[in-house]
Structure formats: structure tokens, C-alpha cells
Amino acid sequence: MNIIKEIKKLNFPPTQYVIVGSGTLDVLGIRAANDIDIVVTKDLHEKLRKTGEWKEEERYGKIFLIKEGFDIIPQLDWENYKTTTEEAIQNALIIEGINFMNLDELCKFKTALGREKDFKDIELIKKYKDTHK
């Protein structure tokens, strides 16, 4: 999957989204992504919901929007993670005009999620950072 090409097809306003999770890892060549998780602003989330083109799925008490390998997350700040969507966008790693969560923030986010796969990703990020100083 060409992650840049797929994200650009969505034509989201650059000030209203950031790619998180494995999407960032994929674009940097750390590991392949199975899907693309995108955190969006409340305005963009509501606009996408109203189109009826996205399947709604409740996860973690939030309404995620799902379509064609994309998971749209309605907000970034969770109980154990306080960075807002807007802050993550502002501090994003920009690659070919696409906003990706920077690696330091991604480690904080994955630590807060605390799943086994997140800790594995954190180790991969540390190795990547050690070899790409």
C-alpha cells in the first residue's frame, strides 16, 4: 500500500487531521501498517459522519468511522493521554504534505494505550531513532 497516495485521496484539510499509529511507522519504513488510523478535528469528524459514507463503530466510548482501511478517530485526548488533536497536528511530522504524529508523541500515545503491540512498536521506534540520529 502506498500510504501517501491513499491518504491524499481523502483530500482532508491539512489543519484538521493527523495520522497516528502504524501509519507513521509505515511511512518511515519502521513496519508495515494494516490500516491507517487518522485522528481528526471535531468539525471534520462531524462532516464525515453526515456523508453517510463511513461505517460507525463504537470503540473506547467514542464513535470511530471506518472505510476502506481507514479508521477515523474522533479525538486524541483520552484518559491516560492528554495531548489534543490540535496539538498533535501542530507538532506533526510533515511528509509530502501529510501530517504524521511525530515519533516522540507517538511513543507517549502508545504508552498510554498500553497494549502489548504498542510496547513492541515503542521498541521499534527506539531502534529507528538510534539508527537515524
User: Which residue ranges make up each domain of the chain?
Assistant: 6-128
CATH second-level architecture of 6-128? 2-Layer Sandwich (3.30)
Give the residues across from 55 on adjacent strands: 66
Specify the pTM: 0.92
126-127-130 Cα angle (round to 5): 85
16 touches 40 (CB < 8 A): yes
Q: For the chain, what is the mean pLDDT?
A: 93
Q: What is the pLDDT of residue 62?
A: 86
Tens digit of pLDDT for each residue in 12-59? 999 999 999 999 999 999 999 989 999 999 999 999 999 999 999 998
Side-chain-facing half-sphere of 33: CA atoms under 13 Å: 24
Mean pLDDT, range 62-81, rounded to an integer = 88
Question: Does residue 1 carry a pLDDT above 80?
Answer: no
Strand 36-40 vs strand 17-20: parallel, antiparallel, or unpaired?
antiparallel
